[in-house]
Chains A and B, each alone.
Chain A
Amino acid sequence: MDKNQESLFVRLIPFFERYGILLLILIMIAVLHLLQPDVFLSWRNVTNIFKQVSWQSMLALGVFMVIVTAGIDLSVGSIIMLSLMGLAIASKAGMPWYVVMLVAPAIGFLCGMFNGIGITLLRMPHPFIMTLGTLYIFRGIGNLISGGVPITGFAEQIRVIGNGKIKLDVIFGEGAREYIPTSLILMIVIFFIFWIFLNHTRIGKWIYAIGGNPGAARAAGINVDRILIVVYTLCGFLAGIGGLILAGRTNSAYPNAGLQSELDAIAAVIIGGASFFGGRGTVLGVFAGVMIMGILRNGLNLMNVSVFWQQVLIGSIIILAVYIDVLRRQLATRT
């Protein structure tokens, strides 16, 4: 290759590193719009995508922070189910709606803290093992307290979080059907708060430092165990919020809630460009990863592609995304 050409190519790498994933989303949107011109970009379908990803994005955001510390949390799918069941039982017991609303995040918080304490204080050799254990434990407890049957019917104040609509009469005129889902607003607010947390606070910086080199973090006087407990607790808390959103969306707590959603969360984080070895990744990348998964599923559903093919495609995209990352790294280190 000509030297000038190569240097131009190399200079483009950081640009793609930062914005390549947004480019990919735009391409996906363009292609799906061409294939389904009447449906895909309709207000109804777009809000549908956001409502679907809103609870999944909470799991992805939590798992992302854990992966930045070079850890993993396999239990978030079970935490979402346990917090959903807890919420349902509190609701059936006739507690006021504002208590019921707090139950899910509180359960998530405690589950996450349990993971964090197990990983640090019990000196488990890897977070994989601790959270694999709690994946079974939390779902088991969820089924024990609910008797393994669905519980349905929540107060309107609970439902509004996952299912609420902010009408846009002001913009589109009286009686317009266009609206913004409350869960989309909640998702944007939470992502913004965690973006601030990870990029503009000392603890956020330390989370990245621990992922880069835990020894360096320790030598700098950072209490690594304490930060890890904070990270796993926040991850559980976010899963609890996800449970709250899901409660509103489905108006029911069911034994299979969140089943395997921990894998979707990990997939979204990896597609979003975070490194599995820790220390690398952005909140915007997680958002993009979640959107790619959501848009893909939605688009394939619209085109009546079978669920089995969807599985094959999503798996392929994970491998492709990481392989592109490997290639990019090779190019970057070659110079």
Chain B
Amino acid sequence: MSDNLVLEAKSVSKFFGTITALQNVDLHLNKGEVLGVVGDNGAGKSTLMKVLSGLYKPSEGSLFFDKEKVTLNSPRDSQNLGLEMVYQDLALAGNLPIGDNIFLGREPTRKVGPFNFLDHKKRKQLTEEHLAKLKINVKSADQKVEELSGGQRQAVAIARATAFNAKIVLMDEPTAALAVKEVGKVLDLILNLKKLGVSVIVISHRMDDIFTVCDRVMALFQGTNFAESELKNTSRDEVIGWIMGKKD
């Protein structure tokens, strides 16, 4: 395996009572690589992401960050290791401006005597720098999130995930709720992250997404590894076949 390995899962299984959600699943991810994860509903994609982000503890198997074995007790642990998750429901507060959302829970502050006050200037400056780095266009960093389009919200969610130098970003259906003309912008953003050296795992049902941004694609079927390939060695029809559990 290559030296660039940033994340690896070895024979991960997850049981919920008598239900087997994942069975001996392997996954690896290299630096600056975009990995697509496909599979039918209930194939175990979301469960796998929740195991990787520390939301679920695997029943069996182990996780490696930068080749070191780790035990994740909460999403906080994976965040500290540089992994961020972009939630499907976006997890943004619509009543707050873009900058407040990006830094929510991690607001820059300045000390005045014994008190810590919000540093509005610094937050605005950091927000503008970060949005510029990711080439995200909005009218102003002070715009409320509820005034943004679906694509812009997705961009803010991704900006939030990467604001603290994340090395790995997990995205669950990042284009599912978007208008057609906005999908391209989000895909560009993913390619931008790749250029910045961030590794990305994308769950998607849309073959256009997978074949635009991914370097490699892996398919889960009924909670197990079903197939995997470099993108250049496969085709849309083949990947669609994997989702339905068909292999030549």
- Is there contact, CB below 8 Å, between B104 and A209? yes
Q: Separation in Å of the A263 CB from the closest CB of chain B?
A: 25
- Is there contact, CB below 8 Å, between A220 and B95? no
Which residues of chain A have C-beta atoms less than 8 A from B101's C-beta?
Answer: 216
- Is there contact, CB below 8 Å, between B89 and A215? yes
- Is there contact, CB below 8 Å, between B118 and A217? no
> Contact mask A171-200 → B, CB, 8 Å, 1/0?
000000000000000000000000010011
Q: Separation in Å of the A61 CB from the closest CB of chain B?
A: 20
Known contacts A202-B107, A221-B105; is-contact A208 B116 (Cβ 8 Å) = no
Known contacts A205-B100, A209-B104; is-contact A220 B118 (Cβ 8 Å) = no
Q: Which of A204, A216, A280 has the most CB of B within 10 A?
A: A216
Q: Does A222 contact B (CB under 8 A)?
A: yes
Q: Does B117 contact A (CB under 8 A)?
A: yes
Known contacts A216-B101, A216-B104; is-contact A279 B93 (Cβ 8 Å) = yes
Which residues of chain A have C-beta atoms less than 8 A from B105's C-beta?
Answer: 206, 217, 220-222
- Is there contact, CB below 8 Å, between A217 and B117? no
Interface residues of A, dominant DSSP = helix
Q: Does B109 contact A (CB under 8 A)?
A: yes
Known contacts A217-B104, A220-B105; is-contact A209 B93 (Cβ 8 Å) = yes
Q: Which of A199, A215, A222 has the most CB of B within 10 A?
A: A215
- Taken together as a complex, chains A and B put the C-alpha atoms of A219 and B161 apart, in Å, by 11
- Taken together as a complex, chains A and B put the C-alpha atoms of A237 and B100 apart, in Å, by 28
- Taken together as a complex, chains A and B put the C-alpha atoms of A278 and B93 apart, in Å, by 11
> Contact mask B86-109 → A, CB, 8 Å, 1/0?
010111111110001100111101
- Taken together as a complex, chains A and B put the C-alpha atoms of A221 and B89 apart, in Å, by 16
Of the four ranges (under 10, 10 to 19, 20 to 34, 35 or more), the interface on chain A belongs to: 20 to 34
- Taken together as a complex, chains A and B put the C-alpha atoms of A206 and B94 apart, in Å, by 13
- Is there contact, CB below 8 Å, between B104 and A220? yes
Using CB atoms, name the residue of chain A closest to B105: A220
- Taken together as a complex, chains A and B put the C-alpha atoms of A172 and B230 apart, in Å, by 87
Q: Does B206 contact A (CB under 8 A)?
A: no
Within 8 A of A (CB), among B23-40: none
- Taken together as a complex, chains A and B put the C-alpha atoms of A215 and B118 apart, in Å, by 22
Which residues of chain A have C-beta atoms less than 8 A from B118's C-beta?
Answer: 199-202, 204-205
Q: Separation in Å of the B74 CB from the closest CB of chain A?
A: 9
Which residues of chain B have C-beta atoms less than 8 A from A199's C-beta?
Answer: 118
Q: Does A213 contact B (CB under 8 A)?
A: yes
Which residues of chain B have C-beta atoms less than 8 A from A280's C-beta?
Answer: 95
- Taken together as a complex, chains A and B put the C-alpha atoms of A205 and B99 apart, in Å, by 12
- Is there contact, CB below 8 Å, between A220 and B91? yes
Which residues of chain A have C-beta atoms less than 8 A from B94's C-beta?
Answer: 212-213, 279
Contact of A205 among B90, B91, B107 (CB under 8 A): B107
Which residues of chain B have C-beta atoms less than 8 A from A206's C-beta?
Answer: 104-105
Q: Separation in Å of the A228 CB from the closest CB of chain B?
A: 15
Instruction: Pull 20 A–B residue pairs with CB atoms less than 8 Å apart, ordered by A.
Output: A196-B117, A199-B118, A200-B117, A200-B118, A200-B120, A202-B107, A202-B116, A208-B96, A209-B93, A212-B96, A213-B93, A215-B89, A215-B91, A216-B90, A217-B105, A219-B87, A221-B106, A222-B104, A279-B93, A279-B96
- Residues of chain A touching chain B, judged by Cβ–Cβ distance below 8 Å, are 196, 199-202, 204-206, 208-209, 211-213, 215-217, 219-222, 278-280
- Residues of chain B touching chain A, judged by Cβ–Cβ distance below 8 Å, are 75-76, 79, 87, 89-96, 100-101, 104-107, 109, 115-118, 120
- Excluding A200-B118, A208-B95, 14 further A-B contacts by CB distance (< 8 Å) are A202-B107, A202-B116, A206-B104, A212-B95, A213-B92, A213-B94, A215-B89, A215-B91, A216-B92, A217-B93, A217-B104, A220-B104, A222-B104, A279-B95
